[in-house]
Structure 1
């Protein structure tokens, strides 16, 4: 099994949070514990955990809201929800907003650990398959690197890498402008649209060594990557 997994735990019940944290740490996990959703979101951005374990009912920002905000900028990190609720509607909502698994309280630590390992291992396998070919470029999405032939790799920003990934996965098809703005920027307002235009310009410059690659602006609809 994988060890030394960096995990973000958001749990507002302090006693339960400490029990989970200490139990995981005895099994070689690195645990970042937060007692509300707002703190958890800040720690997610600064600590780059490998997996999230989120209590659904939390003050300031609940687990579902937190997951939605994280999914808007990261569609790969595994998310496990912890909840005292067991209604089907709650389970469905958790999965529909991007949750990968769901544990009802009370639960056994062994079950939580098995589920964490399964999700982290699955995600690592998926990431290794995300090295994509774009004409004469190789795009390593997990590492956020772009390489032209045998030259040194260029490091992309988080948003550049995710925008390019979606363009490549929809190669030769129009990537809906509003859809990608909501997914990566969290809104499709004017200022976000202008920001996206700037990122498209940056990607064009980084891909300009292969004359066959184009990112076409399809006015009123979005962008299309052609090779």
Structure 2
């Protein structure tokens, strides 16, 4: 099914062009021409993402964003002709996920949309987190980033800890590569893939004290934390 986007934009020509472009990119777009109309539509429908202009009649984008954030857990970001620090701060305080300043590159727009929707889907589908994980002869505490073992404890770097936590949450199943890249690196390109491979190698070295533990690589799919019994 196509992902649904609510577009709140009062500029007639720009709104029409953007709606058509997103629909050509295989999104289902509902276009509202002021903040009040956008909020009414939002409350009557389910959306995967909201794109909000800041300056709109009847209800500005900041007020609309506050109302959206208070009602449903839906990602949203702002389109603005301004690039003032106070506007950026205000938007993020409200709960906005990102900003795009007009004029913007349409390719960047599509990348932001994909990343936000994928992140939301990842949060909904990802196995439940725990305070600590025990696998083999290791205990891992994500909050302290401590990997404990009788042969010595190891404090992991932030990215190492996030990656190991994801592997633990998927233990016995394949952790999709794309989920790790979107969750930890916030990007999915050649360089971030190579970076993740380096971090996987580091984790394998940290787990050498228990030969029953393996991090298996599944080509173009992901990685799996396995404990042989």
Matched, 1:96 2:72: no
Shift of 1:80: 1.0
Aligned equivalent of 1:22, options 15, 20, 23 = 20
Q: 1:39 to 1:95 in 2, by over 3 A?
A: same
Structure with the bigger RCO (C-alpha within 8 Å, sep 6+) is 1
Cα distance in 2, alignment partners of residues 17 and 95 from structure 1: 23
Q: Is the 8 A contact 1:24 1:31 kept in 2?
A: yes
Cα distance in 1, alignment partners of residues 70 and 77 from structure 2: 17
Question: 4+ runs of 1 displaced by more than 3 Å?
Answer: 129-132
Alignment partner, residue 116 of structure 2: 119
Q: 1:67 to 1:130 in 2, by over 3 A?
A: farther
State TM-score, norm by structure 1: 0.55
SS at structure 1 position matched to 2:29: strand
**RMSD over aligned Cα atoms:** 1.7
Shift of 1:129: 3.6
Report 1:39-58 matches (<5 A): 39-58=37-56
Alignment partner, residue 63 of structure 1: 61
Q: Mind listing any 5+ residue stretches in structure 2 that lack a counterpart?
A: 130-229
Cα distance in 2, alignment partners of residues 73 and 110 from structure 1: 30
Cα distance in 1, alignment partners of residues 96 and 77 from structure 2: 6
> Which entry has the higher C-alpha Rg, 1 or 2?
2
Q: Is the 8 A contact 1:20 1:109 kept in 2?
A: no
Cα distance in 2, alignment partners of residues 116 and 60 from structure 1: 26
